[in-house]
Chain A
Amino acid sequence: MLHRVPRDVWIGLAVIAGAGFYWLGADGIPISPLDGAVNAAAMPKALALALAVLGALLIIRSLSVEMMAARAGAAPAAAQSLSDEDRRANRIKHLRAAGVVVIGAGYLLIVTTVGYIISIAALITVLAFYIGAKADWRLPATALGIAVGFYVIFVQFLGIPLPPGILQALGV
């Protein structure tokens, strides 16, 4: 009897679900008169099947290890090493990591409107602060200096048109 469902079982189930969605997408690929012996959907469907099989293998492998251990009376791997405190620390770690994506997405939302220099300076300020930089006047000042440096390299030196944003409207 298993005390707890091992993590790889959940991962395997997610993989099988992903394979199902991918199969549905592959099924929707139109048939073209240019298709030869193998049409455009064949490879994606084969990949979906292979992924589902591998997902099932992952589940079987994980369950077999757990059940052998359970029969012998060993603690289940899933519950073995992590204390509540470890789990909380892990959760915080993952949330902090997700914060990087949120900050990055925030930058992408404002960059075309606000413009490159201001938004990249804001990105550096917020991200550096988020990762642990001290919040004082040096942080935004350094970020602005780096942003101007990047702007000079990309726009002036490499000739890449980065979004000007409101600076253009202000005639800067």
Chain B
Amino acid sequence: MEGISIAFEVMTTSPAVFAAMLGVAWGIVGGALPGISPSITMALLLPFTYDMDPIPAIVLLASTYVGAEYGGSIPAILIRTPGTNAAAATAVDGYEMQKQGRGGEALGISLVSGVTGGALGYLFLVIFTEPLASVALAFSFPAYFALGVLGLSVIASLSGDGLVKGLIAGIVGLMIATVGTDPLSGVGRFTFGQAELLSGIPFILVMVGLFAVSELMVQAGKPEGEKKQTVQTRIQLPTFRNWRKLWRSQGIGGGIGIFEGVMPGAGGSIAAFMSYNEARRWSSVADNYGKGEPEGIAAPETANNAVANTALVPVLSFGIPGSNSTAILLGGLLIHGLQPGPLLFQREQEFVYGLFGGLLVANISLFLIGILMLTPAIWLVNRPKPYLMACILALVFSGIYSINHSVFDLYVVLICGALGYCMRLMGFPFLPMVLGLVLGYLIEANYRRALELTGGSHSIFIEDPIALGLLTVAALFVVGSAARDVVATRKAARAREAEGAGS
């Protein structure tokens, strides 16, 4: 009850409601633009949150995530070009419905399912985040170090069959985190005499460069190709009777979305495709899937919007982001001096319940804003790519400059963009690098503080049961992924051998 009253007070006395609505609207627009993922949409907004109060700033970012997951379905349905990775599953039946002249109906189902998934995920977030976070109350320096290592070990599950490359990217992230004044001794590290580097390289510059600028580079490298088809449609919400037919697929999508959101590395895309498959498996009209079946839109859209809420659970409880979008959200929290974990719930109650209140507004307003923003989103989808891309770079430069009024920062963003492009080219994933960057301080500072307690003996990490447990889980993660990597390598080699034998 106390939480509700705090949330109500924050909602009525701060601009969080406005931030939630603005975030949803911006998210829908960003999500609707093919190539602009939810993480890029959030990264573009990050500079503008710098001077804001923490509550509206984080509500703005979290609401953007909510809006972007729905926004991605708009071009997926209208032009079979998913605005987000998670919307790829929606495109299967959504575009079929559009071809049958039922595009407005498909958009309506997507919106209603998105709101339903958001509500289910939101309930889970509000009920389970605090109890989970309270586990961390017993944490000491070694345990926090181990928690950081566990967070990094998520890399293993995110790197697919490229575990080594994922680990390299994670190490590079940790290396970037060491730039600047050492927090414990005050010694400058890797500053090369540049005063601008004394305070380190802010996450925001790396994130915007990696996600937004590198994407612009990728888009610039693509040929214009055929002229974009121009589409127009009006949203058509499902009747109550039709909505009831979707309950089972929405329930499946919601359940899978809640589970996948909490799991590190799973994310909206996996949730969307898994829920599509499961909804089809349990459907009485399974044969209609792929031919314009509304359930084929309802399940993935419910799932990815549930993920947008439950993905916040590990971030707020332990400070471990499981996806690019939540890594940016974690960056936003740290920028505002908010350290996730149990103390956040004790010391920053106003923030936590304010965020919950803001997310409630975001999930509810998604319904109305989703209808209102459809026309501008379609207008933007129909704009020529060159203008859109040029405007995005202009927005990146203007937003980043506004943080410190520094042209040096813009050079850093550009360099990070080039680095991101090279990483894409060579098959290095981004998320491990971002994880290394945001978890670098947590890991190093707590490692060194722990060793201060023992005069340099590492036995403290074995004697502390929580640290030992977390380190064991982290080791299992890495060993399991390494085993999977070896199996995949052998399989690839055998396939090549078979190919050689056949030729």
Contact = CB atoms under 8 A, between A and B. Distances in A.
Contacts of B222: 93
B398 interface: yes
Interface size bracket, A side: 35 or more
Interface stretch (B98-106, B239-247, B449-457): B449-457
A160 B402 CA distance: 6
A7 B489 CA distance: 16
Interface in B436-471: 444, 447-448, 451-452, 454-456
B207 to A, nearest CB: 17
B456 A65 contact: no
B369 interface: no
Contacts of A17: none
Given A34-B184, A132-B385, A55 B168 contact: yes
Contacts of A105: 411, 414
Interface string A155-169: 000101110000000
Nearest to B189: A29
Interface in B208-223: 213, 216-222
B175 A51 contact: yes
Interface string A66-89: 001101111101000000000000
B15 to A, nearest CB: 14
Interface stretch (B281-289, B301-309, B310-318, B493-501): B493-501
Contacts of A43: 174, 178, 444, 447-448
A58 B174 CA distance: 19
Interface stretch (B25-33, B268-276, B417-425): B417-425
A93 to B, nearest CB: 4
B322 to A, nearest CB: 23
A96 B393 CA distance: 15
A72 B175 CA distance: 40
Q: Which of B219, B221, B384 has the most CB of A within 10 A?
A: B221
A11 interface: yes
A129 B224 CA distance: 12
A39 B447 contact: no
Interface in B175-227: 175, 178, 182, 184-190, 213, 216-222, 224
Contacts of A128: 386-387, 389-390
Interface residues of B, number: 69
A75 B496 CA distance: 8
A15 B410 CA distance: 26
Given A47-B175, A101-B217, A160-B402, A131 B164 contact: no
A115 B134 CA distance: 52
A37 B456 contact: yes
Nearest to B485: A61
A130 B216 CA distance: 12
A54 B189 contact: no
Contacts of A5: none
B172 interface: yes
Given A36-B448, A40-B185, A132-B385, A146 B394 contact: yes
B167 A93 contact: no
Contact of A131 (B190, B386, B407): B386
Contact of A29 (B187, B401, B448): B187
Contacts of B389: 127-128, 131
A20 B4 CA distance: 55
Contacts of A116: 398
Given A73-B501, A160-B401, 12 more contacts: A7-B426, A30-B187, A36-B451, A54-B164, A71-B497, A97-B220, A97-B421, A104-B393, A124-B394, A132-B224, A150-B398, A154-B402
21 contacts: A36-B448, A36-B452, A43-B174, A55-B168, A61-B164, A69-B497, A72-B497, A74-B496, A94-B221, A101-B417, A104-B397, A108-B397, A108-B410, A120-B394, A120-B398, A124-B387, A127-B386, A128-B387, A131-B220, A131-B385, A150-B398
